Amino acid sequence: MIDKRECVFRGNEKQVYATSDPHMVIFRYTDVTIAYNNIKRARFRGKGALDNRISALLLDYLNGNGVETHYVKTVGPDEQLCRKIEIIPLQVVVHNRIAGSLAVRLGVDDGFRPANTVVDLRYNNDELEDPFINRDHAVALGLATYQELDGMYDIARKANDLLKELFHRAGIELVDMKIEFGRASDNGEIIISDEISPDTCRLWDEKSGERLDKDRFRLDLGDVTESYRTVLERLESVLEIDEE
Ligand code: C5P
């Protein structure tokens, strides 16, 4: 039995609690959502629980398919038990299509389909507004070695391949996705940390092109929780079919 202890990180969208096991934490997803580096902010009742369930399902799917993540098990409607990690303040963003800020940066239409898969690196730093950096910058800042960065890129591509296929079976296109990593406190292994959910991915309905992710909030499209619920229900039905 693992007991929940004091809060060790209090963010807007998430809180992290220590536990009686020094190598485990409890992640709690809140109903608060923020965008544009905290300029836009709102609360959607039930969104934390949806993020918790979607993220649990996706991280568990990766764990079961050879991609190690921090997720261990769900312990409450909005809480999950996770391996404790030392944060690596990098965001690895995988783009199957070019959308959002990258489309603006490259001067292409939102939704442009590149021939390759594009992987970007950002420095997770609120004060600097998460700037795009390259591998040399990450090494210069002492955030990771070149070898570790190679490993993170490989994991990100593998996770993208697995999740792109899973979402496709649910009639959803994985347009892009942000992944974060950490060093597991028990063995130092670099594993996927944080969440993977409609807050951190662009997810477009394959038939209608409708956005089913945080862009509904960013772009004031409405139906935020309804869209997240659609994502959850479709993923659950695909995974239930697998279990039969
Ligand atoms: O904002 P941008 O277009 O660069 O986002 C690319 C992808 O990374 C999107 O799926 C977005 O949801 C995700 N992202 C994120 N957290 C950030 C920035 C982007 O999850 N701080």
Model pLDDT for residues 47-93, shown as the tens digit of each residue: 999 999 999 999 999 999 999 999 999 999 999 999 999 999 999 99
If you take atom 9 of ligand 1, which residue's CA is the nearest one? 201
Model pLDDT for residues 134-173, shown as the tens digit of each residue: 999 999 999 999 999 999 999 999 999 999 999 999 999 9
Instruction: Determine the Cα–Cα distance for residues 78 and 37; give it in Å rounded to an integer.
Output: 23
Query: What atom in ligand 1 is closest to the CA of residue 124?
Result: 21
Bridge-partner residues for 183, per DSSP? 86, 190
Pocket of ligand 1 (CB under 6 A): 93, 100-102, 130, 176-178, 200-202, 214
pLDDT confidence band for 244 (50 / 70 / 90): low
**CATH numbers and ranges of domains, the chain:** 4-83 (3.30.200.20), 86-222 (3.30.470.20)
Q: Are 49 and 75 spatial neighbours (Cβ–Cβ below 8 Å)?
A: no
CA of 36 to the centre of ligand 1 (A): 10
Model pLDDT for residues 187-241, shown as the tens digit of each residue: 999 999 999 999 999 999 999 999 999 999 999 999 999 999 999 999 999 998 7
CA-wise closest residue to 242 among 71, 72, 57: 57
Calculate the CA dihedral of residues 32, 80, 57, 151 and round it to 10 degrees. 100
Q: What is the mean pLDDT of residues 12-23?
A: 97
Residue 212, pLDDT score: 98
CA of 202 to the centre of ligand 1 (A): 8
If you take atom 15 of ligand 1, which residue's CA is the nearest one? 200
Query: What atom in ligand 1 is closest to the CA of residue 199?
Result: 12
Least confident among 34-43, 106-115, 152-161: 34-43
If you take atom 4 of ligand 1, which residue's CA is the nearest one? 101
Query: What atom in ligand 1 is closest to the CA of residue 178?
Result: 8
Instruction: Determine the Cα–Cα distance for residues 27 and 49; give it in Å rounded to an integer.
Output: 12
